[in-house]
């Protein structure tokens, strides 16, 4: 057998940057498939800080070298043993988190909370392109468990396909919340998670969705929120809403935004927390929330049903405003610069 090589973008050293390299094309084992990667996202909370080698990521040093890339889409290129239902040639989006398929949560469709498969991520779960023994999609090919595949509907581009796992978080937020048709919704943080929540709320029948951002969002992200259906955009400096909403989705991970949420959710309403805080503990006015019977729902990842709903709704929503610009993998430096400069919502590279 010939040892075919592929181009990868690898991080080998504990310093800023990544390097193009050649590695053997991997072979799928039992239960796995090989994906020819067509599009891979740069996550401002994962690949971006790894690339810049930000201090909070230095604990990863013993894991280098690593090929990152956990948001991606592509074509099934080779199928390992014991993989029914996939033949090769199918266009797919991919759930990046591993799950065992047999723990209680997996069996109940909550594979996002699998209790069996542990990994390096802060939430303790293993993910493609993050854990040491699972090279990611900043490469021409990547190996993934067949159970993590979702067929990409016709009419959804590979670049848009990258956004589906993010959109599924927004769908999860709405599905898991007390949201009902006609409810008024506010969202803090117009990044990919917040915009996904906005899209999901609109599709689910919100009467109003208010997107709240900061000064750096005024130029691009708040106007993008308008394009994606926000009925109002505002700067967080304007303070709490005068007309509190039924469901407040906090997608920024900033303490100040949670404070606005506490003051802007109606009695009996709900705060949905998607944003990840950098500090482990965050002050919450629990007594204030208790007095008004405001509940807090936390969201982590996507469940099986969220993927199904996301694939359905993605066919009727134009996702192009939230995807791109796109760069060739070899032009990765431009891609990471664009991500650092907040030039788009979801910057993608095309291997
Ligand atoms: Zn499990």
* Domains present along the chain, CATH in parentheses: 5-156+319-350 (3.90.180.10), 169-298 (3.40.50.720)
Question: Angle formed by the axes of helices 304-313 and 158-176, to 10°?
Answer: 120
* Predicted confidence band of residue 2 (pLDDT cuts 50, 70, 90): low
pTM of the model: 0.94
pLDDT band (50, 70, 90) for residue 120: confident
pLDDT category at 63 given cuts 50, 70, 90 is: confident
Question: Residue 107 C-alpha to ligand 1 middle, in angstroms?
Answer: 7
294-311 per-position pLDDT tens digit: 999 999 999 999 999 999
Query: What is the C-alpha separation between 230 and 10, in angstroms, rounded?
Result: 38
Q: Structure tokens of 315?
A: 């066919």
Residue 122 Cα to ligand 1 midpoint, Å, equals: 18
Cα(124) to ligand 1 centroid in Å equals 13
How wide is the angle at C-alpha 59 spanned by C-alphas 55 and 64, nearest 5°? Answer: 105
The pLDDT, as a whole number, for residue 1 is 46
Is the pLDDT score of 321 beyond 90? yes
Close Cβ partners of 38 (under 8 Å, ≥ 6 residues apart):
73, 74, 75, 158, 161, 350, 351
CB under 5 Å of ion ligand 1: residues? 99-100, 103, 106, 114, 116
Question: Which residues are 73's β-sheet partners?
Answer: 39, 93
Tell me, in angstroms, the distance from the centre of ligand 1 to residue 98's CA.
8
Tokens representing 86 are 């996939």
Kindly calculate the radius of gyration of the chain based on its CA atoms and give it in whole angstroms: 20
- The DSSP code for 254 is -
Separation of CA 299 and ligand 1 centre (Å)? 17
Whether residue 218 is predicted with pLDDT greater than 80 in this model: the reply is: yes
CA gap 70, 329 in Å, rounded: 15
For the stretch 13-38, pLDDT in tens is 999 999 999 999 999 999 999 999 99
Q: 169 or 2: which carries more pLDDT confidence?
A: 169
Compute, in angstroms, the gap from residue 168 CA to the centroid of ligand 1.
19
Ligand 1 centroid from CA 110, angstroms: 8
What is the H or E stretch that residue 351 is in? Answer: none
**Residue in this structure with the two tokens 């066919």, named with its chain if needed:** 315
| Whole-number pLDDT of residue 194 | 97
CA of 115 to the centre of ligand 1 (A): 5
């Amino acid at each position: 057998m010939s040892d075919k090589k592929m181009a990868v973008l690898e991080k080998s050293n504990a310093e800023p940057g990544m390097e193009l390299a050649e590695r053997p094309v991997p072979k799928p084992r039992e239960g796995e498939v090989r994906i020819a990667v067509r599009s891979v996202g740069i996550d401002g909370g994962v690949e971006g800080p790894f690339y810049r080698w930000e201090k909070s990521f230095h604990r990863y040093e013993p894991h280098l070298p690593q090929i990152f890339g956990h948001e991606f889409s592509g074509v099934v290129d080779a199928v390992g043993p014991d993989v029914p239902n996939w033949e090769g040639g199918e266009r797919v989006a991919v759930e990046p988190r591993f799950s065992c398929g047999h723990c209680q949560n997996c069996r109940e469709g909550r594979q996002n909370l699998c209790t069996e498969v542990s990994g390096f991520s802060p939430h303790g779960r293993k993910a493609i392109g993050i854990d040491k023994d699972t090279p990611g999609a900043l490469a021409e090919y990547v190996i993934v468990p067949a159970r993590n595949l979702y067929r990409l509907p016709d009419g959804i581009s590979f670049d848009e396909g990258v956004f589906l796992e993010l959109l599924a978080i927004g769908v999860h937020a709405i599905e898991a919340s007390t949201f009902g048709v006609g409810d008024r919704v506010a969202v803090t943080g117009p990044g990919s998670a917040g915009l996904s929540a906005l899209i999901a709320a609109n599709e689910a029948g919100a009467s109003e969705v208010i997107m709240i951002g900061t000064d750096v969002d005024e130029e691009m992200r708040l106007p993008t929120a308008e394009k994606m259906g926000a009925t109002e955009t505002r700067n967080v400096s304007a303070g709490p809403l005068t007309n509190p909403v039924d469901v407040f989705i906090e997608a920024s991970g900033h303490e100040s935004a949670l404070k606005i949420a506490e003051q802007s959710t109606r009695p009996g309403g709900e705060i949905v927390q998607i944003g990840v805080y950098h500090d482990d503990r965050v002050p919450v006015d629990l007594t204030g929330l208790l007095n008004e019977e405001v509940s807090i729902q936390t969201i982590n990842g996507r469940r099986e049903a969220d993927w199904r709903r996301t694939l359905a709704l993605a066919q009727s929503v134009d996702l192009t405003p939230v995807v791109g610009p796109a760069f060739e993998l070899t032009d990765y430096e431009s891609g990471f610069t664009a991500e650092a400069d907040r030039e788009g919502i979801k910057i993608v590279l095309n291997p």
